[in-house]
Structure 1
Amino acid sequence: MLKIKIKMKDIIEYFIIIFMIILTGSARVSTADSGALFHSLSLILIILLALDITEGFKKIPGKTILTLAGIIIIAYYLISIVNYFETWKGLFLRFFWFFFIFAFTIKHHDNPRKIWDKLYNLIFIITLIAIAFFVAINFLNIQLPFEYIEHENIKTYYRSFLNVFCTADRYHRTNVFGFSFYRLQSFFWEPGIFAIYLNIALAYLTFYRAKKNIIHLLCYIFCMIFTLSTTGIIIAGFLVAIYIITNFKVAKKQRMLLALPLLLTASIVGSVIWIEKMTRTNVENGSYYIRLNDFIIGASLILEKPLLGFGYKCYDRFLMVSEQGNSNGIIIWGFTMGLVGLAFILVPFIYVICASSRKNRKMEILYFALYVLFNMTEPLLMSPLMLFFLAFEYCKAIQLNRSRRGLFAGR
């Protein structure tokens, strides 16, 4: 009889990642009336992180590093709330998240692929569920049971199917590819969020996953196309081109000959999508112009208060010159937390790129580029999953620094 052993620590790690994903972009949590749910899930995430880090509250790893990190975080937090006190609770929660997630990455620094594999597996499951519901609703016209989620004072804003898939009327498109459908958003608040997750999976499949799988690739491509996310499709085009190039069993010279037309095709497709987006939309409501406006206004506000910014979630000055919230996570962080805040999120990436070997530098540049692109298209910078990416980079920076001195991170 086949016996399947499931380790408790694997279950805890999967649940940690599940709650990170839910708190990073789900429609249910993003709505105005979800405060109680948001705080409940945040508390559960912190408890699960504490359980995993200490292995049942038995031992704390990397005490020296965590103590130093705690001192720096507390000092920066106190400076930030002196600058702008009104949002001290929200900032405290984000810093608290980061501390525990950083400890989580320190705990798993010797074998990070186990965590990334779990994240990949969960994204693939989400992708399969999204395909099933998308086809059933849009192609087969099956009437599935759903409940409405209120948002922006619209009681029927989202239709939620078992809390694992959502549609919204604002994302309904007609006569695209010859038919009408709801843009594919999975259970996230908009299709662009789902596109980020798809590109995370595509990047991991292309560069890190040991077992390549063409079925996985096709599933991600299918979903990415129907998100209609311009930035997501452009990034995915290059990742798919690289996947094809690196997985063709041909000689090195032939691979280089194959690379040119594939990358050229990806560039052309990306340019066509980008140009079409600019010409199809207008200055008032086009997403391209809105994002461009967000960047320009936000960058100018950084120059107004460059050092510490206006304060965490202090959008008053931005709303004086713009009619809607800013969608650019990095720019938001820049004008609310200043250049000190930007240094907090950018310095570890720059250090790792400079300190890495020539062999690894290209991958570190790619990791940094994806991190920046993801957070410049959506306001996710202080969400658990993006904090995990940042904490992971800090962990790599510590490892690189200590390896130069013949030491190991976490001791």
Structure 2
Amino acid sequence: MHTDNTAEPAGYGAADVERWYAEPPKSAQRTPFERDRARIVHSSALRRLGAKTQVLGPGTDDFARTRLTHTLEVAQVGRELGKSLGCDPDVVDTACLAHDLGHPPFGHNGETALHQVSSGIGGFEGNAQTLRLLTRLEPKTFTPDGVGVGLNLTRASLDASTKYPWLAGRGPMRADGRGSAKFGVYDDDAPVFRWLREGAPALTRCIEAQVMDLADDVSYSVHDVEDAIFSGRVDLEEVTTERERDRVITQVRSWYDPAVSDAALDAAIDDLSALDYWVTRYDGTRRGQARLKDMTSQLIGRFCDGAARATREKFGDGPLVRYDADVVIPDSVIAEISVLKGIAATYVMAPREEDALYRRQRLILTDLVAVLYDRAEIALAEMFAEDFGHAGDDDIRLRVVVDQVASLTDLSALEWHARMCGPDVGTSL
């Protein structure tokens, strides 16, 4: 393995700046972590997020967030939070910019479809796909024998980008005895995963990954509600009524099941609605938009400041890096973030699950996997056709096809389907 010829950033050691494949020495003008961040910024995978669904699809209106704008907001929130805790800001920034790279067309709806068609080869998980992109698929660095190693990031940046550091079915057990459905690595990416996790406690995320995860939760919980209010799908004044708060709490428990009680969730609704910047009425005017933006800014500060204070109270001052500490999130912050997630889920995401459009999106991706598998040599993009040709068995070939479909944007998935499938193509492998 190779260490850049620059001094390790404060708090980090030689192992943290190692890369999976040894690269020629670089100038000392940038730290290894600054170089990692630049590689994400210039990646094609990041650019594609601009045309991928966050909650409302790209083109829904000029206000709604795409997966890319969400990612940039997560990076800003994470960088500031990480810096306040003494993490290297570029490591956190890199992890935040990378955290959604593996998401397929049509957001979590597309993830569901690809998981179903790949259930026989270990399934599909956006977080595991992110690691695959960073270490294999994104074209940047190759070994002399022609093996692609993706962006070849440092160990610290790769570890920080791994939200779920375990393989499928090997995650931590919950208090109720259930295992985690999420995972961060496919079986055939295990070698690089073992390398990036050298010296790390099993099933434990480094603090930079925890900061990234919290920044993601804070950003999408707040911003999804902002988008829903702007689009007229949510009226926060109604949420405080007994009937609607029960709906929200039930949705929170069904979809997210946070480690706080229903009573805490109910209290969180009261606490949020009592804030003087809580937007109970939105009229669409410029002043109304300003109040809405002020609410989102204030909530982000509220959640991040609460976590930063609690973390410092437990672990003290000074840099907190890698496995020196954990992010401490107060129960009140967990409850309030969960309520915001529940509001977006209740009024935007859950109602559309059986919508004809969303069923159609899942069928489109299922169709594409079937057709591309059958016509791989002529239908896949060149880089994926090469992978398909080198694949040693049917399982690996199917994974290559899923890699191709996952790389598409919402628009390109629709275009590919119209061009290659037509209206009468079947929807099963």
Per residue, is there more strand in 1 or in 2? Answer: 1
Give the structure-2-normalised TM-score. Answer: 0.31
Per residue, is there more helix in 1 or in 2? Answer: 1
Give the structure-1-normalised TM-score. Answer: 0.32
